[in-house]
Amino acid sequence: MSRLAILSLHTSPLAQPGTGDGGGMNVYVREMAAALARSGSECDVFTRLDDPSQPPIVEVEPGLRVHHVVAGPQAPVPKEQLDSLVPEFTDRVLTAMTTPSGLPIPAGQGGPYHAVHANYWLSGIAGHIIKHELDIPLLSTFHTLDRVKAEAMPEEVDARLSERRAAAEAAVIGCSDAILASCTVEADQIASLYQADPARIAIIPPGVDHAFFAPGDRQQARRALELPPTGSLLLFVGRIQPLKGAHVAVGALAELLERGRDASLVIVGGPSGVAGEATQAELVEMVVQLGLSDRVIFRPPQPHELLSSYYRAADVTVCPSRSESFGLVALESAACGTPVVAAAVGGLTTLVDQGSTGFLIDAPDPAAYASAIEATVASPIGAMRFSTASVLMAQRYTWRSAAAQMTELTEELVSRQLLSCG
């Protein structure tokens, strides 16, 4: 049995996905840690305390604990300013991972940690230090990469922060005993943009909880959620920020209505990042200007397990992101039998089988999205084929499988010599 320290500095796995800095990474950290715990590992997740009412330790389930670490103010801090708090966070995590004298924790008190798994570049900086302090392997999952984001949305990049982040990512990648990628596309990006050794990149796709995300009665789901009972229903799930492209979904709806199709759109999510509030205001204004106020329904972020009802209610899920390392929304939608029309970027290209489980679109063109949506819902028989193919595709992805691969990799790393910094 292994004991893992899982770092998620900037956002807690207990936080609500879809708002603030909470998103797919929250789901990934919680679900992966839970699956590891259920397979016999002891998992301690360390995240920054941003609310004084949060308890120091939350026992989520047997083998899984979330530690709220004091680092900086006990309040939310913009993600762009969190790198200054990494040293304090690292020191406090190291204190929690060792005895008062700095030695490994004895077996009678939980035992020593065998590895550290860092999520996102901020945690990667901490993990890099912890690796060398405790002489344990470092596994890194980045979720997003600065150089990938800079290529996708150069206008959104803060040059000074980008330079610091890219340098930190390169240093962490250079000393990680394993870099976890969700798909071949992300693995290729890590290797080409950061000159990472492909032999140290392990592809471990995330999973989906099939107990929650499964096909169901569409009309019943619409009634339960008080959504339009008739017409084609489009769904957008995600944080409201420029990168996610919700405006493209609104434009696609306008195009469908202009073509005479009865359709509506539900947007589930909240503002995120420095441009989040402005983006949401622009989105609402766009809806009003296009005369779509009675066709676009805004819903706040939903508890993760309740999202399945929205997927089941929809005819098509629209994922027009400019960049996406994996795309859990697309996978969850497919598991519920709802086809996906998505941008042909990142991990989305591995989750959408063109013309079978949905469509991939090369440019943020609302007309192109509208045409793909029309092709998906053109006939009841065709829609059923898309739905069935989506469910079959999603069945390949489980958290149990992801945890088994993670456990095997960790055990291999523990048994061999650590990688030295270049």
pLDDT at position 24: 81
Average pLDDT, the chain: 93
Residue 101: pLDDT band (50, 70, 90) is confident
**Distances in Å between the alpha carbon of 173 and those of 6, 160, 236?**
17, 20, 33
Q: What is the mean pLDDT of residues 119-132?
A: 96
Per-residue pLDDT tens over the stretch 267-292: 999 888 778 889 999 999 999 999 99
Per-residue pLDDT tens over the stretch 214-262: 999 999 999 999 999 999 999 999 989 898 999 999 999 999 999 999 9
Q: What is the mean pLDDT of residues 122-145?
A: 95
Residue 154: pLDDT band (50, 70, 90) is low
- Is domain 3-207+399-414 given the CATH code 3.30.310.50 in the classification? no
pLDDT at position 92: 97
Q: Number of C-alpha atoms within 13 angstroms, CB side, residue 13?
A: 25
Q: With a cut of 60, say whether residue 340 has pLDDT above it.
A: yes
3-class secondary structure, 40: coil
Give yes or no for a contact between 103 and 133, defined as CB atoms under 8 angstroms apart: no
**Distances in Å between the alpha carbon of 237 and those of 168, 223, 328, 381?**
30, 19, 10, 26
pLDDT at position 422: 60
Q: With a cut of 60, say whether residue 157 has pLDDT above it.
A: no
For residue 298, the tally of other CB atoms under 10 A from its CB is: 16
pLDDT at position 20: 62
Q: With a cut of 70, say whether residue 159 has pLDDT above it.
A: no
Per-residue pLDDT tens over the stretch 388-413: 999 999 999 999 999 999 999 999 99
Domains 3-207+399-414 and 218-394 share a fold: yes
What percentage of residues in the chain have a pLDDT greater than 70?
96
Q: Is the pTM of this model over 0.85?
A: yes
Q: Residue 77: exposed, middle, or buried by beta-carbon count in 10 A (0-12, 13-18, 19+)?
A: middle
d(CA 376, CA 234): 11
Q: What is the mean pLDDT of residues 313-342?
A: 95
3-class secondary structure, 287: helix
Give the bridge partners for 117, in sequence order. 6, 139
Span of 141-150, 195-204, 230-239, 355-364 with lowest mean pLDDT = 141-150
Span of 101-110, 157-166, 184-193 with lowest mean pLDDT = 157-166
Give yes or no for a contact between 16 and 301, defined as CB atoms under 8 angstroms apart: yes
Assigned CATH class of 218-394: alpha beta
Per-residue pLDDT tens over the stretch 191-226: 999 999 999 999 999 999 999 999 999 999 999 999
Q: CA 328, 333, 339: angle at the middle one, nearest 5?
A: 125
Give yes or no for a contact between 90 and 126, defined as CB atoms under 8 angstroms apart: yes
d(CA 2, CA 321): 37
Beta carbons within 8 Å of 237's beta carbon, 6+ residues apart? 18, 268, 269, 307, 310, 311, 317, 329, 333
pLDDT at position 307: 93
Maximum CA extent, the chain: 72
Domain boundary assignment for the chain: 3-207+399-414, 218-394
**What is the secondary structure of 350-410 as a DSSP string?**
HH--BTTTEEEESS--HHHHHHHHHHHHSSHHHHHHHHHHHHHHHTT--HHHHHHHHHHHH
Q: With a cut of 80, say whether residue 41 has pLDDT above it.
A: yes
Of residues 204 and 326, more confidently modeled? 204
Residue 152: pLDDT band (50, 70, 90) is low
Per-residue pLDDT tens over the stretch 369-383: 999 999 999 999 999
What percentage of residues in the chain have a pLDDT greater than 90?
80
Q: With a cut of 90, say whether residue 141 has pLDDT above it.
A: yes
pLDDT at position 162: 81
d(CA 381, CA 276): 39
Give yes or no for a contact between 116 and 2, defined as CB atoms under 8 angstroms apart: no
Residue tagged 């766009």 (tokens): 286
Q: Number of C-alpha atoms within 13 angstroms, CB side, residue 105?
A: 16
